[in-house]
Amino acid sequence: MKIIKATDYDDLSRKAANIISAQVILHPRSVLGLATGSSPIGIYKQLIDWYNKNDIDFSQVTTVNLDEYVGLSGNDPQSYRYFMDTNFFNHINIDKSKTHVPNGVAPNINEECARYNDLIQQVGGVDLQLLGIGLNGHIGFNEPDKEFEKLTHMVELNPSTIEANKRFFDKIEDVPKSAISMGIKSIMQARHILLIVNTDEKYEILKESLFGPVTPHVPGSILQLHSNLTVIYSCNKTL
Ligand code: F6R
């Protein structure tokens, strides 16, 4: 495990973007596992900036996103597909057909989960997985539970996750109650995992995840077992 303390959010975003950029420059056909939420926005901005300066070429890159809300189509501004398009994909030279997000309005969600698992295999697995973490330790939408869910699955979101995500919606009732999430096994099979944490309020859960017991009650704790984990954090306290 490599732990890097960033001085602030801009520094964190640049450092993480440097790692993603190096991955793509060294391996232009990389498969990137991507995340949504507040944490990665600065990274995507930085990568777009370097793309505009001709420093990075995404034309051969494939992406697979961690999750999507059930019930939201890709045209819905609250969907994760829309988030990825507007915050990243629309601004770079990626082939959109190689960008993958679970389909939240698939007629059969179980079949969609199976399709997504197959897809991750078909693209050869994830080379570099970008992860944020929830206040309750969730990664992707793998919520605290009695056991780790291995593969892509439908998940009922925890009240605390719904509460945390209501900031993106007009009112809390609009936050979907379920999502499709890549499973823990798929995340752990990524060849490199890059975890980013950028708020002081997440310091305790980050510490618990990295140094506490490995337990499905703190999904992020499984990351301790990954052989190539990089953590970049920007918090007042030092790990
Ligand atoms: C997003 C995802 C989530 C977020 C986590 C942190 O695709 O899978 O696990 O990474 O909820 O979200 P932010 O960055 O908004 O604090």
pLDDT score recorded for residue 122: 98
Q: What is the DSSP string of 175-230?
A: S-SEEEE--HHHHHTSSEEEEEE--GGGHHHHHHHHHS--BTTBGGGGGGG-SSEE
Told to judge if 208 belongs to the known catalytic residues of this protein, a careful annotator would answer: no
Residues 125, 189, 84, 80: is their CA dihedral positive or negative?
positive
> Could you tell me the pTM of the whole model?
0.97
**18, 136, 158, 208: the active-site residue:** 136
- Ligand 1: list residues with CB < 6 Å: 35-39, 66-67, 132-134, 138-141
SS3 state at 233? strand
Query: Contacts for 201-204 with beta carbons within 8 Å, 24 or more apart?
Result: 201/135, 202/133, 202/135, 202/235, 203/233, 203/235, 203/236, 203/237
- The one-character DSSP state at 165 is H
Instruction: Give me the pLDDT at residue 174, please.
Output: 92
Amino acid identity, residue 75?
N
- Taking alpha carbons only, the member of 127, 118, 131, 125 closest to residue 28 is 127
Per-residue pLDDT tens digits for 93-112: 999 999 999 999 999 999 99
Verify whether residue 67 is a known catalytic residue.
Answer: yes
Residue 50's pLDDT band (boundaries 50, 70, 90)? very high
143 is catalytic: yes
Q: Verify whether residue 136 is a known catalytic residue.
A: yes
Amino acid at residue number 166: K
* Contact between residue 101 and residue 81 where contact means Cβ atoms under 8 Å apart: yes
The confidence band for 157, taking pLDDT boundaries of 50, 70 and 90, is very high
Report phi then psi at 187, rounded to 5: -65, -45
Tokens of 184: 């823990």
Residue 60 Cα, ligand 1 centroid: separation in angstroms?
26
pLDDT confidence tier of residue 58, bands split at 50, 70 and 90: very high
Q: What is the pLDDT of residue 191?
A: 98
Tell me what pLDDT residue 125 has: 97
133 Cα to the center of ligand 1, angstroms: 6
Probe target for ligand 1 pocket from 34, 66, 162, with the most ligand atoms within 8 Å of CB: 66
Average of per-residue pLDDT across 49-67: 98
Sign of CA dihedral 102, 233, 27, 189: negative
pLDDT grade for 31, boundaries at 50, 70 and 90: very high
Whole-number Å distance between alpha carbons of 156 and 176: 9
pLDDT tens digits for range 163-194: 989 988 999 999 999 999 999 999 999 999 99
Beta pairing partners, 194: 130, 230
The per-residue pLDDT of the chain, averaged, comes to 97
